[in-house]
């Protein structure tokens, strides 16, 4: 991605993927820097929502929940159907009711013409089941999540969802 940026400065796709890679490597400050660069260049609401989603995920992983909530709100304002991050953030904060509400919005949307969100849907269902004390259902959902292709265009691929549930 750095080579792509050297050839084409301002290449948004390379920038957001560098943000994702920094996140996945635990380099959260760097991830946020890349997210900011992406947001500076974003020209459409879906692009801006993606940038804020990336920020929200990074802040949430870093346990900076005030900033995570602010970024998640901005993302939802720009794309009210892309609720994965905000729903998982709600679960992280113990707000199961909000997570369920957002998940229902996601499941009601028509995915036609959009990349599928199979893994994140199962992660959400597993998180909700776990918050309700339904351990077997949660573990089954996390196993189902890992059978889905990872959302390689997203900040978190949820590779560790089953391991996290077993901890």
pLDDT in tens, 127-149: 999 999 999 999 999 999 999 88
Q: Where are the alpha helices (DSSP H) in 1-151?
A: 2-7, 12-24, 28-41, 45-61, 65-78, 84-92, 96-108, 118-131, 135-147
> Are residues 39 and 19 in contact, defined by beta-carbon separation less than 8 angstroms?
no
Q: Does residue 27 register a pLDDT over 60?
A: yes
CB within 8 Å of 82: residues ≥ 6 apart: 49, 53, 75, 76, 106
Residue with tokens 């560098």: 18
pLDDT in tens, 83-94: 888 888 999 899
> Are residues 68 and 59 in contact, defined by beta-carbon separation less than 8 angstroms?
yes
């Amino acid at each position: 991605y750095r080579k792509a940026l050297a050839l084409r400065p301002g290449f948004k796709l390379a920038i957001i993927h560098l943000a994702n890679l920094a996140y996945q490597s635990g380099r959260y400050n760097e991830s946020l820097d890349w997210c900011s660069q992406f947001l500076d260049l974003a020209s459409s609401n879906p692009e801006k929502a993606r940038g804020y989603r990336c920020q929200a995920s990074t802040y949430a992983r870093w346990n900076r929940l005030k900033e995570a909530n602010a970024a998640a709100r901005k993302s939802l304002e720009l794309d009210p159907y892309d609720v994965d991050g905000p729903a998982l953030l709600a679960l992280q904060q113990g707000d199961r009711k909000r997570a369920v509400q957002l998940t229902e919005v996601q499941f009601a949307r028509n995915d036609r013409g959009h990349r599928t969100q199979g893994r994140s849907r199962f992660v959400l269902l597993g998180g909700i089941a776990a918050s309700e004390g339904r351990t077997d259902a949660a573990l089954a959902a996390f196993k189902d999540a890992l059978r889905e292709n990872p959302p390689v265009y997203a900040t978190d691929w949820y590779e560790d969802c089953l391991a996290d549930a077993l901890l």
